[in-house]
Copies of this chain bind each other. A is one copy, B any other.
């Protein structure tokens, strides 16, 4: 019996391949699902089952594709939004045999109404559950968010509390296999450690260790979570089942500079090189969205069916980006440019440098309070609640497209975040929208606090 973790960076999504004696099951497959087929095959296993802990809202499920490719049955919890088309419904207490493993279903609503957990037993050694796949109910260091049903907020927070008690009843010894790790938008407080047990979480998890139902509900209601607009798309796709094979996602052509220049008029140019590259020189009008931040912000900053052109430093970076985009449903990449910006410029094509300022310059401005200058902090509400630079205006980067009119275009705007990365994305958004006078505080809050700069209330 084995449990293999397949992690998707960016999304911090965790899926699992469980197997024994030639049979395997996959829990929460991602869309690029060849990896499950290959890994099962390497272990001499056939995939008989796909279990979904819930209808994911932050990524496209690979369950329908995987079922089509392997003939596996897909098991999903009862869903009020209607039946998941590619799945059969499974309920509390249902049992599935995978060689010497036994999977037992626990209904653990709260994060969503259809949330299931799957307890894992080993018939070879017997005894209590050896592990449990907890989906978005319980993470290492956090519990699932409960903000998806605003009008039933108290009820669903309570449901999650009850679900956690049901999980803990499996015993301290059970290893926890959650659907997300540190870095996911599905929870803020996850530990960087990727393994834990019910016993450890029962005593050390700041939320899960709460022994009083009302206190727990109160804590959950006080939390703030952002909801990227692409969640709506994911929910629809994960009800219907998404089409499209992963082999197709590597197809967009690599264009020469002149071809790219011609084609970019009809599309959004996404520059996925590093932050420093974008600052150094970039194509006018392009959106700064470094490859390692694509999963975090594409769902906020790109439209579902937007046509995209990708600027990357090299092919691996471009392909990694394509994979990230595919996982969240962005299939419409029309071409890629891998030419370095010096090559682009040597064809007498336009480029822009993004102005950056350092901590000393920002301190000078803050002290001088110039009338034609404003400071825009694009960190999220949890971060800005810890304090902001005096005078800063706060708009979370994800919400910037929606709230852009709140900014004064006549002013010089300095964008700030924790290190300067998200600030650069924000600055590129402003420049795309026609703002003329934008710079980025590189080093940002990290440098500000390191140097003992004053903080104002950011709530």
Interface of A toward B, CB cutoff 8 Å: 1-3, 20, 22, 34, 41-42, 44-46, 69, 100, 122, 124-128, 130-131, 140-141, 171-175, 191-200, 202-205, 247, 250-251, 253-254, 256, 273-282, 313, 315, 338, 340-343, 345-351, 353-356, 358-359, 418-421, 442-448, 450-451
CB pair A130–B345 under 8 Å, yes or no, is no
Chain B residues with CB under 8 Å of A355's CB are 353
CB pair B340–A274 under 8 Å, yes or no, is yes
Chain B residues with CB under 8 Å of A354's CB are 280
CB pair B130–A250 under 8 Å, yes or no, is no
Distance in angstroms between the alpha carbons of A234 and B36 in the assembled complex: 34
CB pair A1–B347 under 8 Å, yes or no, is no
User: Within the oligomer, what is the number of copies of this chain?
Assistant: 4
CB pair A130–B196 under 8 Å, yes or no, is yes
Contact of A342 among B125, B199, B275 (CB under 8 A): B275
Distance in angstroms between the alpha carbons of A418 and B69 in the assembled complex: 37
CB pair B346–A351 under 8 Å, yes or no, is no
Known A275-B340, A442-B351; contact A128-B200, beta-carbon cutoff 8 A: yes
CB pair B124–A193 under 8 Å, yes or no, is yes
Across the interface, name the chain B residue whose C-beta is closest to A171: B199
Distance in angstroms between the alpha carbons of A338 and B3 in the assembled complex: 22
Contact of A126 among B46, B194, B204 (CB under 8 A): B204
Distance in angstroms between the alpha carbons of A197 and B131 in the assembled complex: 10
CB pair A341–B442 under 8 Å, yes or no, is yes
Contact of A276 among B42, B198, B341, B356 (CB under 8 A): B341
